[in-house]
Structure 1
């Protein structure tokens, strides 16, 4: 005789794991594309150095593209670091705690610190991008890049990816917390 409550629990758990997997796959796919910003950044830096020191002609456009590519790598790298558990943490403290206690602290930190921070940044970033778009904002340099809103759009886009990554991690932490000890 099977317990219908345990079947419902296992079905719910499987559904949450599937959702976490979907979130992680989305983050990993976006990260796979955005990681190319580092290769482009290196190419732009090399071109800028050659232009500046080889031909005595540095271009402002190259300087600005460097900052934009660097921003893309860093902003989208946050979500990737969360998914792959490669973010900076205080392992000295965590190594002294029981695994379930570490999970509880991660859940606490996520709910009371990470999600509120993401909310504030997301809430404000949409207007930030919209205002830039409405003003047709461009670089203050005469030969700088147009469409400043485009790079500013990396803020909400990357924090949406971070939300998916953190939510996936939170789901997995809740599941790990509710599993019975073996």
Structure 2
């Protein structure tokens, strides 16, 4: 349970930081619209429009790739709850245990393995934007796929530990965080 608590704390911290990237993304998009349609310029504070547009895409990628584990922590991820909500707590715990063990963890391994050649090549050539004068850091964004796999795997392990403890009768704590008083 200590390991699960550590994983949850790390996930929570990363998720709270990533939440700010969403605000930054919205503000950046607003600034681009104002610059383009109000001031008829493609520059904002000396920054080319292509950098601003790609910055929005980068922030969106960061939010999705690094925020997924945070949504898992708070049980806000998308799932098909046709039977899960009506099931007994024991069946829910078994579903969490085996779902994470048999589906989430293997999926993360497959994603990491399948993306390895692309990420390795991107790093080897220091892949940048396909746009002229674009952000030259696309290889860093691609590397976040590994971050996604690591964070989601860790959060799945936390859920497995918590579900296993509940099934063994060693814990009655919920698998997911439910406190809404942020």
TM-score with structure 1 setting the length: 0.84
Deviation at 1:33, TM superposition (A): 1.7
Q: Is the 8 A contact 1:133 1:147 kept in 2?
A: no
Q: CA 1:181/1:147 → structure 2, altered by over 3 Å: closer, same or farther?
A: closer
Ranges in structure 2 where 5+ consecutive residues have no aligned partner = 43-48, 173-182
Distance 1:132 1:61 in 2: 19
Unaligned runs of 5+ in 1: 1-16
1:84 corresponding residue in structure 2: 74
C-alpha distance in 1, partners of 2:121/2:20? 28
- The partner residue of 1:116 within 89, 93, 106 is 106
Q: Would the alpha carbon gap of residues 135 and 114 (structure 1) be closer, same or farther in structure 2, given more than 3 Å must change?
A: same
Deviation above 6 Å: which 4+ runs of structure 1? none
Question: Which one of the candidate residues 81, 93, 105 is aligned to 2:95?
Answer: 105
The residue number in structure 1 matching 2:12 is 28
Cα deviation, 1:59-92, whole Å, max 9, x if unaligned, reads 1211111111011111122100111112123334
Greater C-alpha radius of gyration: 1
Residue 57 of structure 1, CA deviation: 2.7
Point out the structure with the larger helix share: 1
Calculate the aligned-residue CA RMSD, in Å.
1.9
Residue in 2 that maps onto 1:10: none
Task: Select the residue among 131, 138, 146 that pairs with 1:148.
Answer: 138
May I ask how many residue pairs the two structures share in their alignment? 166
Tell me how far apart the structure 2 counterparts of residues 180 and 170 of structure 1 sit (CA, whole Å).
13
What TM-score, normalized by structure 2, do the two folds share?
Answer: 0.84
